[in-house]
Amino acid sequence: MCTRLSYLGPDDRTLTARSMDWKVDIGTNIWTLPRGIERDGKVGPASLTWTARYGSVVATAFDEVTTDGVNEAGLVANLLWLPESEYPDWDGESSAMSISLWAQYMLDNFETVAEAVENVRQEDFAVVTAQVPGEDRLAALHLSLSDATGDSAIMEFVDGELVVHHSHDYQVMTNSPTFDKQLALAEYWKEIGGTVMLPGTNRPADRFVRARFYADAIPHVEDRRTATASVFSVIRNVSVPYGISTPDEPHISSTRWRTVVDHKDLIYYFESALTPNVFWIELDDIDVSSEADARVLELGSNQSNTFSGEVSDRMVASEPFTFLGAPPSSNHVIVVSNAEFGRDNPHNTGGSRS
Active centre residues (catalytic): 2
CA angle 299, 302, 303 (to 5 degrees): 25
Task: Say how far apart CA 295 and CA 32 lie, in whole Å.
Answer: 5
Half-sphere exposure of 178 (CA within 13 A, CB side): 15
Q: Is the dihedral of CA 339, 344, 346, 350 positive or negative?
A: negative
Among 317, 321, 298, 295, smallest CA distance to 42 is for 321
Task: Say how far apart CA 13 and CA 49 lie, in whole Å.
Answer: 34
Half-sphere exposure of 174 (CA within 13 A, CB side): 25
The helix/strand count (H/E) of the chain reads as 5, 24
